[in-house]
Amino acid sequence: MKNTITMGNDEFILYVRKNYNCSLTNDRIGKLVWSWILNNSKEIDKIKDIERNVPCLWQNSRLRKTFGFRLPRTASQITFNRKLLPKLFSYLDQLGEIYRADEQFDFRKRIEEEEHKNMPELDF
C-alpha cells in the first residue's frame, strides 16, 4: 500500500458541507485545508504534489446528488501522507463547528433571490 494519497479540496469541502452548516466560503475552506496540510506534511513539493484547477466529477453527473451543497466546479488536488487523514478530518470537524452558520442555507431560496433581483419593480 502506498504511503501517499491524492485528494482534492472539493472532497474536503463536500465533507464540511454535508456535515455542517458552515459559513465559510469554498475558497476559504480550501485555503485553510491547504495551509493545514502544508503545515502538517513537510515533505510536500508545492510544484510536483499539487495539481491546480482540476474539474470536479460531480459537474458531469446527471444524478444531481450534490444539488444544494454549494460545491466548487474545479478544485486543487494535493498528494500527501495518508497517515494525516484522521487528524485532517478532525480539523475539518473543527472548522465546521467553529464557523457554524445560525441559519440553514437554502440553495433553492438563493436561486430564487438571484433570479428576482434583476426583475424590475412593478408599481400599480
| Full domain range(s) for residue 40 | 4-117
In a domain, 124, yes or no: no
Q: Are 14 and 69 in contact (CB under 8 A)?
A: yes
DSSP β-ladder status, 4-8 and 50-55: unpaired
Ranges under pLDDT 70 in the chain: 1, 58-70, 103-124
Q: Are 83 and 10 in contact (CB under 8 A)?
A: no
Question: Based on the structure, what is the number of domains in the chain?
Answer: 1
Indicate whether this model's pTM tops 0.75.
Answer: no
> Residue 107: what pLDDT?
47
In a domain, 106, yes or no: yes
In a domain, 84, yes or no: yes
In a domain, 122, yes or no: no
In a domain, 17, yes or no: yes
In a domain, 107, yes or no: yes
**70-97 burial, b if ≥16 CB within 10 A, otherwise e?**
ebbeebbbbbbbeebeeebeebbeebbe
